[in-house]
Amino acid sequence: MKPYLSIVIPVYNEEGNLKSLIARLHPVMLATGHPFEIIFTDDGSRDSSLQILKDFTAIYPEVRVVEFNGNFGQHMAIMAAFEVSRGEIVITLDADLQNPPEEIPKLVAEIEKGHDVVGSIRQHRQDTFFRKTASMLVNIATRKMTGMKMTDYGCMLRAYHRNVIDNINQCREASTFIPALAQTFASSPSEVEVAHAERLEGESKYSLYKLVRLNFDLMTGFSVVPLQLFALFGILTALAAVGFAIFLFIRRFIVGAEVEGVFTLFAILFFFIGITIFGIGIVGEYVGRIYQEVRHRPRYVVRKVHGAADEQ
Ligand code: UDP
Ligand code: MG
């Protein structure tokens, strides 16, 4: 039977969490009374996650597993699962039980009210102070730059109507940020508050470097404001430099040539060189992404889809 609900879960080295996850998720799904499927994407795990997931397909007929042949990142893992999903409503979830599966019916009810994208706001977020502060800044910057109204970009417990999923499935971008991408296709977005828990087992799969990369995906993938801001800053600096030159010119006639203050000038110079290199970096970030896109390489490689094989 065609599922009504599709649950999508990216998995990267989550062997300690998967059994607890399915033990909580499966009863919640049964209780909805709707036909459902649970799609895991194994994002190139190096631990026993894939084996555990494959075992699930033998126990739970609703489970399907997309097996990647490498680590392509959380958002690509979700994209791949979207492509094989069939539900009318698709819900994304993290594998580490930071998003309580018990909140799923709340999201479903919100979609059934007629919304096509339902985001979530984490109540009492259980993450480090650094992560929470960084998220707050990213949320503000993203809202300003993209003009999208979303409270909590980082929370992956979200629900999408099939129409939005079909639109997302037509996107071929090699790096993306799913909540923002979905928001661009939403005609009636909504948000609900959900509980948040600490990661059950293991550590966050995002190193500081990966986190910075991810946020670059969000900033550059959905807005060219960084480039525009930089151009604006360039214009302002040039104007200030002209003003400064005029000042020095006049000063020369009044008090004569100056030699003192050379190092102050150096400091100012280094500051602007720093800004210039930063700007080249931003431009490079966009150019790199354009290059990545024009090569048209596969965004991810699916080795095999396990479970419910007869329906492929
Ligand atoms: N994840 C993934 N591929 C990656 C990194 C993470 O599939 O390269 C999955 C991970 O297994 C988890 C979800 O994405 O289900 C969120 O990751 P994590 O909990 O480590 O992120 P955090 O909660 O620290 O933001
Ligand atoms: Mg987590």
- Domain co-membership, 32 together with 167: yes
- CA end-to-end distance (rounded Å), the chain: 13
Inter-axis angle of helices 162-169 and 178-185, nearest 10: 110
- Domain co-membership, 90 together with 102: yes
Q: pLDDT tens string for the chain (312 positions)?
A: 899 999 999 999 999 999 999 999 999 999 999 999 999 999 999 999 999 999 999 999 999 999 999 999 999 999 999 999 999 999 999 999 999 999 999 999 999 999 999 999 999 998 999 999 989 988 898 888 888 888 998 899 999 999 999 999 999 998 899 999 999 999 999 999 999 999 999 999 999 989 988 988 898 888 888 888 888 888 898 888 888 888 888 888 888 777 777 777 888 888 889 889 988 989 999 999 999 889 888 999 999 999 975 454
How many other C-beta atoms lie within 10 A of the C-beta of residue 99? 25
Centre of ligand 1 to C-alpha 132, Å, is: 16
CA distance 91 to 3: 12
Global pTM value: 0.89
Please name which ligand lies nearest the alpha carbon of 45. Answer: 1
Identify the CA nearest to 175 among candidates 138, 132, 210: 210
* Total domains present in the chain: 2
- Domain co-membership, 180 together with 235: no
Centre of ligand 1 to C-alpha 203, Å, is: 9
- Domain co-membership, 251 together with 122: no
**Per-position DSSP letters for 163-207, written without gaps between them:** HHHHHHHT---SS--HHHHHHHH-SSEEEEEEE----SSS--S--
Give the position, in ligand 1's atom list, of the atom nearest the Cα of 95. Answer: 15
Predicted confidence at residue 206, as pLDDT, reads 92
Q: What is the DSSP letter of 44?
A: S
Residue 211 within any structural domain of the chain: no
Q: Which CATH number goes with the domain that contains 131?
A: 3.90.550.10
Predicted confidence at residue 252, as pLDDT, reads 84
Tell me, using a 6 A CB cutoff, whether residue 73 lines ligand 1.
yes
Q: Which residues contact 81 (CB under 8 A, 6 or more apart)?
A: 6, 8, 9, 10, 39, 40, 41, 66
Tell me, using a 6 A CB cutoff, whether residue 12 lines ligand 1.
yes
- Domain co-membership, 248 together with 145: no
Tell me, using a 6 A CB cutoff, whether residue 204 lines ligand 1.
yes
Residue from 13, 66, 96, 199 whose mutation best tests the ligand 1 pocket (most atoms within 8 A of CB): 96
Tell me, using a 6 A CB cutoff, whether residue 220 lines ligand 1.
no
3-state secondary structure of 155: coil
Residue 220 within any structural domain of the chain: no
Please name which ligand lies nearest the alpha carbon of 70. Answer: 1
Residue 214 within any structural domain of the chain: no
Residue 137 within any structural domain of the chain: yes
Tell me, using a 6 A CB cutoff, whether residue 94 lines ligand 1.
yes
Beta bridge partners, 6, equal 37, 90
Residue from 11, 12, 92 whose mutation best tests the ligand 1 pocket (most atoms within 8 A of CB): 12
Residue 218 within any structural domain of the chain: no
Tell me, using a 6 A CB cutoff, whether residue 96 lines ligand 1.
yes
Predicted confidence at residue 30, as pLDDT, reads 96
- Domain co-membership, 192 together with 171: yes
Centre of ligand 2 to C-alpha 149, Å, is: 23
Centre of ligand 2 to C-alpha 269, Å, is: 43
Tell me, using a 6 A CB cutoff, whether residue 126 lines ligand 1.
no
Predicted confidence at residue 40, as pLDDT, reads 98
Residue 217 within any structural domain of the chain: no
How deeply is 30 buried, as exposed, middle or buried, from its count of CB atoms within 10 A (0-12, 13-18, 19+)? exposed
- Domain co-membership, 29 together with 84: yes
- Domain co-membership, 11 together with 123: yes
Inter-axis angle of helices 178-185 and 208-221, nearest 10: 20
Ligand 1 atom 23 nearest Cα: 204
- Domain co-membership, 196 together with 230: no
Residue 254 within any structural domain of the chain: yes
Rounded alpha-carbon distances, angstroms, from residue 196 to 6, 52, 98, 132, 215: 21, 25, 6, 13, 21
Tell me, using a 6 A CB cutoff, whether residue 15 lines ligand 1.
no
- Domain co-membership, 136 together with 261: no
Contact yes or no for 77/11 (Cβ under 8 A): yes
Residue 98 within any structural domain of the chain: yes
Which structural domain range is residue 256 located in?
225-295
- Domain co-membership, 240 together with 182: no
Contact yes or no for 73/292 (Cβ under 8 A): no
- Domain co-membership, 133 together with 43: yes
Per 3-state DSSP, the chain is made up of helix, strand and coil in percentages (nearest 5) of 50, 15, 35
Give the position, in ligand 1's atom list, of the atom nearest the Cα of 41. Answer: 7
Strands (E), the chain: 5-11, 36-42, 63-68, 89-92, 117-123, 158-161, 189-195, 302-306
